[in-house]
Amino acid sequence: MLGIESHIESFASYSEFADQRIHSRMLFLNRVDVVLADGLIFAEINHRLRADRTYAD
């Protein structure tokens, strides 16, 4: 997201993960409030994790 760098210091916490599945797992487990990611990729990963029920692992 353009310009996010100037706002990071105002966030309670901020993390970046290369493994896109971590974003979805953290959201499913209520560990994060927001995920900033490509919407289509995020939706596909969510779909796969729900189908496999691997998000709780």
Checking if the pLDDT of 57 tops 60, the result is: no
pLDDT digits (tens, 9 = 90+) for 1-56: 778 889 989 988 888 888 989 989 999 899 999 898 899 999 999 999 888 875 55
The sign of the torsion formed by the CA atoms of 42, 28, 17, 13 equals positive
Query: DSSP 3-state assignment of 20?
Result: helix
What is the pTM (predicted TM-score) of this model?
A: 0.67
Q: What is the pLDDT of residue 44?
A: 94
Copy the structure tokens of residue 55: 């998000």
Query: DSSP 3-state assignment of 54?
Result: coil
Contact present, 23 and 35 (Cβ < 8 Å): yes
